[in-house]
Amino acid sequence: MSSPLAPKIENGVNPTEANGEHDSIVRRKTRTVMVKDLPVGSGHPVYVQSMTKTKTADWQKTVEQILRYEEAGCQIVRCTANNEEAAHALKKIKENIHIPLVADIHFQHKLALIAVESGVDKIRINPGNIGKKEKVAEVLRACKDNGIPIRIGVNAGSLEKDILHKVGFPTSDGMVESALRHIEICNEHNFDDVIVSLKSSDVYMMIEAYRKLAKMCDYPFHLGVTEAGTSWQGTIKSSIGIGTLLAEGIGDTIRVSLTTDGAEEIKVGREILRSLGLVSFGVTIISCPTCGRLDVDLFKIVGEVEKAVEKIKTPLKVAVMGCLVNGPGESKGADIGISCGAGSAILYVKGESKGQIPETEIVPRLLEEIRVIEEDLKK
C-alpha cells in the first residue's frame, strides 16, 4: 500500500500543482558524497543519523551505545572528539561498530588529524575555525588523501563574530554567509567532498537558511533543528523543520536532536521519513483518535499492537479503527485492518473481509495475520 504523496519539487522550489494533485517528492539535485559505503545526495536514500551521549574516551560504553543505535535503525553515527584521548578512542570504536563513524571536532586541527588516523568515515568541522591556513590545508589534504568527506556544520548559536557584527543577531542570511565562507575555503584547496548543515533552534530560521543555500550550491545537506529540546517539544519542532524541507526535496541526511536517549531520536527520524514516503519499513499503524461512538477499549488494543510490532521490519500498514464510519474504508485500504463495533470487530486482510471477531481476539488475530503475511513474503 502506498504512502500519501508529497508535492513535486524542482530544485528546492515548491510549485503547487494546478489541478490540486501531487506527485511524489522530487529530490533536489546534488553531487554525491560517499560516507564509507553510503552514497549521500540526490537519487540516494535519506539516512538517519544520531550522536553518542557517552564520553568518547570510554570507547566500550560508546560502542555499547552505538550498537543500540544500530538496532534502532541508525545509519550514521557521530562522536565528539573533544580531546586527544577521545580522538584516539575513535579507532577502537570504529573497529567494533557496523555503520559509518563521524568525528565531531571544533577548533583543534590536531584532533582532526588524529581522527583521520583513527579511520573515521567523515569529519564534522568548520575549516575557518581551526586556525592558520597551513593548519586548514593539512586537515583538508589528510581528508582528501584518505577519502574522508567533511561536513561543514553551521550553527546559529555560534556564528563568526564579524558576521554577527554585520547582521546584528543570528539570521538565516548570516548562516548562509558562514556556510559559503567555509565552502570557499574547501574550494581553494580543491576539496569537494563536502556536506553542509545549517542548524538553528529557531525552526523557521533553519528552514529559510536551507532554502536559500539550496539555490546557491549543489552540495548534499544534513538537516536538523539543533537544541530542539525535550522528547515532546523536540519531536514536534524537528518534525516541522526537517519534514518541511524533505517535502520540498531538500535534505540528504537527518538528525533529530532530543534531550533524551539517542534511540528515541532515531525512532522519530525514521518516522519522519516514513510519513513522507521516503522509506518503507516496519509496521505503520493507522488508528482513529476515538469519539463517543467507540464501544471497545481501543487505547488498550492499539497500545498492545504497537508494542508487539515495534521490531518488525517488514513494511506493512495496519489499521485499527474504532467504529463503522471511517473504519471500513481505512481497514480495506490497509494490509490488515479491523473496524470495531460493540464488543467486536470486522477483520480485513488485503481489502477482503474475514468476518467478525470478538474484542478479546482482536490483538491475537492481527498478530497472526501479520505473521502469515511475513511468511508469505519470505517464500
**pTM for the predicted model, two decimal places:** 0.86
Comparing CA positions, the residue from 321, 293, 328, 290 lying closest to residue 305 is 321
Q: What is the pLDDT of residue 233?
A: 93
Please give the pLDDT value at position 376.
85
Q: Where are the domains of the chain?
A: 33-275, 283-378
Position 11 scores a pLDDT of 37
- φ, ψ for residue 330, nearest 5 deg: -65, -40
Distance (Å, whole) CA 124 – CA 49: 13
Q: How much is the mean pLDDT over the chain?
A: 90
User: How does pLDDT run across 259-283, given as a tens digit for each residue?
Assistant: 999 999 999 999 999 999 998 888 8
Per-residue pLDDT reduced to its tens digit, 325-345 = 888 899 999 999 999 988 889
pLDDT of residue 6 exceeding 50, the answer is no
CA-to-CA separations, 361 to 230, 343, 345, 358, 368, in angstroms, rounded: 37, 10, 9, 6, 10
Residue 4 has pLDDT above 60, yes or no: no
326 residue type, one letter: N
Of 4-13, 121-130, 223-232, 303-312, minimum mean pLDDT range: 4-13
Question: Each residue of 158-211: pLDDT tens digit?
Answer: 888 899 889 889 999 999 999 999 999 999 999 999 999 999 999 999 999 999
Percent of the chain residues topping a pLDDT of 70: 94
When the candidates are 3.40.50.1820, 2.60.120.620, 3.10.129.10, 3.20.20.20, the CATH number that belongs to 33-275 is: 3.20.20.20
Q: Which CATH code of 3.30.450.20, 3.40.190.10, 3.30.413.10, 3.30.230.10 fits the domain covering 283-378?
A: 3.30.413.10
